[in-house]
Structure 1
Amino acid sequence: MTHGFDTLQIHAGARPDPATGARQTPIYQTTAYVFRDADHAAALFNLQEVGYIYSRLTNPTVAVLQERIATLEGGAGAVCCSSGHAAQIMALFPIMAPGRNVVVSTRLYGGSITQFSQTITRFGWSAKFVDTDDLDAVKAAIDDDTRAVFCESIANPGGYVSDIPALAKIADAAGLPLIVDNTSATPYLCNPIAMGATLVVHSMTKYLTGNGTVTGGVVVDSGNFDWSASDKFPSLSEPEPAYHGLKFHETFGPLAFTFHGIAIGLRDLGMTLNPQAAHYTLMGIETLSLRMERHCTNAQTVAEWLEGHDAVAKVTYAGLASSPYFDRAKELFPKGTGGLFTIALKGGYDACVKFVESLEIFSHVANLGDTRSLVIHPASTTHRQLSEDQQVAAGAGPDVVRISIGIEDVKDLIADLEQAFEKASA
């Protein structure tokens, strides 16, 4: 039987606890698991049997979360880890090598730009930043050393909407995986795998958990990519010395990337998600569709109001008819374009700082996707490490404020914004 999204977000991956009958997934707060006998232990360590060894690798609470997100995203499998940044490294780890590069959108979260432009170079990897709206530029950036194309479905902070089907065609023609960060959209609003993406990553910290309590990340594998079609991905297609010459793609087929992420990625990088964080995220996902509907309707109302305000020079919400992404958003995101966007204030940097400091309901925090409405000035915080040119390219210039609309009463949100504008202009 095929179930709807609202049913799957509650039930996928979860079953009554066999020991107690507990209906909610228990928090399995344990580091290790007793083996039945020596042969059982050997089979687990040889990847000949699926089971639990040590919670750096696998944990029953985390396993439920992995299955649930993979189901909602339409993937073959998923690997959860400690944060969204960890998920991005986990996604690249099996496919990159020293001297290899990834073609990356210029419109990314500031921390991701820093990770791709600075941190990954320490692995000997590099990133080529391209305006992914320029499809010819994306094609031109791909060379013999490119191993993936990376974008965000709805870019943070500017709300730019990526043309995922077009990017997927380019990546596929080059024999490369397309990796899509679906944090801002969530699987309720967007299904990148159905549009041709190979891998999907999330900062579960944001909308999936939805309550600002824990950090977490996930990599979802579509199971559709042929890792053995070329010699570009030896970690997945060639013998693995640590497992007596086992070939991940030959052995595990559509689950090759997922098994590699656990058996090597989590084993050696250790970016483990703890079971209590997994529990919080499972509870959050149970109401994902309900929350996203309110995020979208509230954001649409607030964005329309802001667009007519004298203090505002620009609103980037893709749900507005004035947005260059309006038509694309209607096609790719028919349920809505999320709760995240930016506004440019006519008063520039100083007006942004005064505005942020004057808000009362909106919380001034470095987070998004919470039930609460949140606000931040990226140029002085999340995008502070970037040059001004990089900030502008990412949609986070000095005159820009990022707004994450929550699920409060929308009239209260508008009233709070209005009083903040009045104080900022006084």
Structure 2
Amino acid sequence: MSAQTALPSLPQPVRPVQPAVAPPVVRPRPYGFTTQQVHAGDAGVPGGHGDRVAPIHVSAGFRFEDSASAAARFSGEEDGFVYSRVANPTTAALERRLAALEGGTEALVVGSGQAAITTALLGLLQAGDHLLASDHLYEGSRGLFEENFARFGIEVDFVHDHADPAAWRRLLRPTTRVLFAESLSNPRNEVLDVAAVSGVAHAHGVPLVVDNTLATPYLLRPLEHGADVVVHSASKFLSGHGTALGGVVVVGTGFPWQGRAPGGDLLFPQLAEPSAVLGGRSWLDLHGERAYAEHARHAVAARFGPVLSPFNAFLVQQGVETLSLRVAQHCRSAALLASWLERHPAVAGVDHASLASSPSHLRARRYLPRGSGSVLAVTLRGGAPAARRFIESLQLFSHMTHLGDVRSLVVHPASTTHAHRTPAQRERAGVHPGTVRLSVGIEDVEDLQADLRRALVAAELVTPHADSLEGAAQDGAA
């Protein structure tokens, strides 16, 4: 057979026709918290150089491609950066990460925790509205509500028993537009029943805003329990190293911002009514469910100007990458020290939700399975003289008004943070003359215990005789 002779064609085997089957949908396993705190929102920078860490963009403004792009960005029809008072690539990277960690749809970072609370609430409130807040608050928040908001015509009431949903319901008014509380209170470490309070808020048609600073998203994500907006002082645990100020507002999903009061009035007319700035459209027309977040960014934060610097955003993001590791250590040490301090004869009482004696203990078991935070209030039997000697005898605990640092910190609330409140108000807040607030850091717990033990001995030396350990022992024997 020549090389040119064609071979006879062979019959092809007949294969049965298989029905078309769609490939199985493989859903990616959700990443764990520690993976997210390192990678979430890491979208890179358009036109960048492959930076693995979000760089610090220190430009005040950003160039437009052309006139049409400039107009589109100002109208909100085109995404992009315009001016760092509104948004910046470095701060935007931090916003994406914090939104992911809290389980929110988007976030807005600002210059401090106080700025975050102000921005979040002024996006919801106007003159004539009523704010209902927990009585167990950071004193800066209380002063903001009672003094500054009052000048804007916003009224406020405080719920003393924030663990009782009925106490919240009793203080609701037709003009109530928002409920506000802390997930973990300062300094008593009381746990908020987020689901119960959000139920009260939603039955009234209004949102719940939760300050989650002390819990952090590693311990608790309030949006998963019914909260609508979460705020943080990023200066505390999120940053973690006492080097940067910052704040964040994280917005959840599903709240009906177009809702109306029983009388038919819009609950949030600033979102639903036409705006000349938006060409006769409303924020809801333009942004839908994102209306509140966009209004808070552009009509509140951008105008009041509480800008977070790109450098501070960079520092906060560096801290966030180790958040879970630090908070786990904070919580372990705080729980061990709280248990030991509660049994010490020089101590009259300890407030920490990890303790069975805490009124918040059962709520902590429900909401805080990873730990009850690192801030605790310790009340000494010897009152203010003992508290002063105790603080001044500590060596590892820094005496300063801050918390959430890798370093352990101590302060005397009655003479500092709560000094301007009446004795009755301090008593209700659990701040007694002998109360000290501890923010437990990440040092070796044995070293912290030794430091506290030395300070307790010094405090006992100035304890009045009637309250001394010997006197207490004799009273017990009698």
Does structure 1 residue 153 correspond to structure 2 residue 183?
yes
* Number of the residue aligned with 1:246: 281
> 1:173 matched to which residue of 2?
203
Q: CA deviation at 1:277?
A: 0.5
- Quote the offset at 1:385 in angstroms: 1.9
Deviates more, 1:120-129 or 1:292-301: 120-129
Secondary structure at 2:376 match in 1: strand
Letter in 1 for 2:204: A
Superposed CA RMSD in Å reads 1.1
Question: Following the alignment from structure 2 to structure 1, what is the Cα–Cα distance between the partners of residues 209 and 122?
Answer: 13
Larger mean Cα displacement after TM superposition, 115-124 or 212-221: 115-124
CA distance in 1: counterparts of 2:422 and 2:143, whole angstroms? 11
| Per-residue deviation, 1:393 | 2.2
Alignment partner of 2:152 out of 119, 123, 128:
123
TM-score (structure 2 length as normaliser): 0.87
Range with bigger deviation, 241-250 or 287-296: 241-250
Partner of 1:56: 85
Letter in 1 for 2:215: A
Within 5 Å, give how 1:38-49 maps onto structure 2: 38-49=67-78
* Per-residue deviation, 1:324: 1.5
What is the distance in 1 between the residues matched to 2:309 and 2:430? 34
Alignment of 1:11-160 (within 5 A): 11-17=39-45, 18-131=47-160, 132-160=162-190
Counterpart pick for 1:385 among 420, 432, 442? 420
The equivalent of 2:364 in structure 1 is 329
- Write the deviation string for residues 144-187 of structure 1: whole angstroms up to 9, x where unpaired: 11110111001011100111100010000000100100000000
C-alpha contact (below 8 Å) 1:311/1:346 kept by paired residues? yes
How far 1:214 sits from its partner (Å)? 0.8
User: Does structure 2 conserve the Cα–Cα contact (< 8 Å) formed by 1:110 and 1:386?
Assistant: no
Instruction: Check conservation: 1:114, 1:386, Cα contact below 8 A.
Output: no
Aligned residue number for residue 8 of structure 1: 36
Residue 232 of structure 1, CA deviation: 0.9
**What pairs with 1:388-403 in structure 2 (closer than 5 Å)?**
388-403=423-438
- State the shift of 1:382 in Å: 1.2
Name the CA distance, whole Å, in 1 between partners of 2:54 and 2:200. 41
Residues 410 and 437 of structure 2 are in contact (CA less than 8 Å); yes or no, is this contact kept in structure 1? yes
Measure the CA separation in 2 of the matches of 1:4 and 1:198. Answer: 23
Residue identity matched to 1:388 = P
Q: 1:345 aligns with which of 374, 380, 405?
A: 380
How far is 1:392 from its partner? Answer: 2.1
Shift of 1:224: 1.8
Give secondary structure in 2 for the equivalent of 1:208.
coil
Larger deviation: 189-198 or 109-118? 109-118
User: Which consecutive residues of structure 1, in runs of 5 or more, have no partner in the other structure?
Assistant: none
Question: Where does the alignment leave 5 or more consecutive residues of structure 2 unmatched?
Answer: 1-27, 261-265, 462-478
Q: Which moved more, 1:37-46 or 1:112-121?
A: 112-121
**How far apart, CA to CA, are the structure 2 residues paired with 1:238 and 1:396?**
45
Aligned partner of 2:258 among 220, 228, 233: 228
1:210 match:
240
1:175 is aligned with what amino acid? G
How far apart are the structure 2 equivalents of 1:254 and 1:312? Answer: 51
1:319 Cα offset (Å): 0.4
Displacement of 1:68:
0.7
User: Retained in 2: the 8 A contact 1:73–1:191?
Assistant: yes
Q: Deviations over 1:86-135 (max 9, x none)?
A: 11110111211111111110111122111112221111112101121232
Q: Is the CA contact (8 Å cut-off) linking 2:341 and 2:347 kept in structure 1?
A: yes
Q: Partner of 1:313: helix, strand, or coil?
A: strand
Question: SS at the partner of 1:118?
Answer: helix
Q: Which moved more, 1:110-119 or 1:413-422?
A: 110-119
Q: Which residue, 316, 327, 334 being the options, matches 1:299?
A: 334
Q: Choose 236-245 or 75-84, whichever is displaced more.
A: 236-245
Deviations 1:347-393 (A, max 9, x none): 11221111111111000111000000111011111111222222222
Q: Segments of 4+ in structure 1 off by > 4 A?
A: none
In 1: Cα distance, 2:178 partner to 2:43 partner: 36
| SS in structure 1 of the partner of residue 424 of structure 2 | helix
- How far is 1:246 from its partner? 2.5
**CA offset at residue 253 of structure 1?**
2.2
What is the distance in 1 between the residues matched to 2:431 and 2:110? Answer: 28
Query: Which residue type is aligned with residue 145 of structure 2?
Result: F
- Which residue matches 2:390? 355
* 2:318 maps to 1:283: yes
Q: C-alpha separation between the residues in 1 aligned to 2:284 and 2:122? A: 15
Corresponding position of 1:187: 217
Amino acid across the alignment from 2:42 = A
Query: Does the 8 Å contact 2:257/2:289 carry over to 1?
Result: no
Give the whole-Å Cα distance in 2 for the aligned partners of 1:73 and 1:15: 18
Matched, 1:416 2:451: yes
| TM-superposed deviation, 1:409 | 0.2
Q: In 2, Cα distance between the equivalents of 1:108 and 1:82?
A: 20
Paired with 1:250 and 1:75, the residues of 2 have a C-alpha distance of: 21
Q: Take 1:94 and 1:324, find their aligned partners in 2: how far apart are those partners?
A: 34
| Structure 1 contact 377–401 (Cα < 8 Å) conserved | yes
Q: Is the 8 A contact 1:152 1:181 kept in 2?
A: yes
Tell me, in whole angstroms, the C-alpha distance in 2 between the residues paired with 1:63 and 1:275: 9
Rounded to whole Å, the distance in 2 between the matches of 1:280 and 1:406 is: 19
Report deviation, 1:399.
Answer: 2.2
Amino acid at match of 1:205: S
Q: How far does residue 343 in structure 1 lie from its aligned partner after superposition?
A: 0.8
For residue 214 of structure 1, give the secondary structure of its aligned residue in structure 2: coil
Matches of 1:280 and 1:292, distance apart in 2 = 17
Larger Rg: 2
Deviation at 1:240, TM superposition (A): 2.0
Q: Distance in 1 between matches of 2:372 and 2:275?
A: 42
My pick for the range that moved more, 264-273 or 204-213, is 264-273
| Structure 2: distance between partners of 1:397 and 1:423 | 19
Q: Distance in 1 between matches of 2:247 and 2:55?
A: 20
**Bigger shift: 110-119 or 327-336?**
110-119
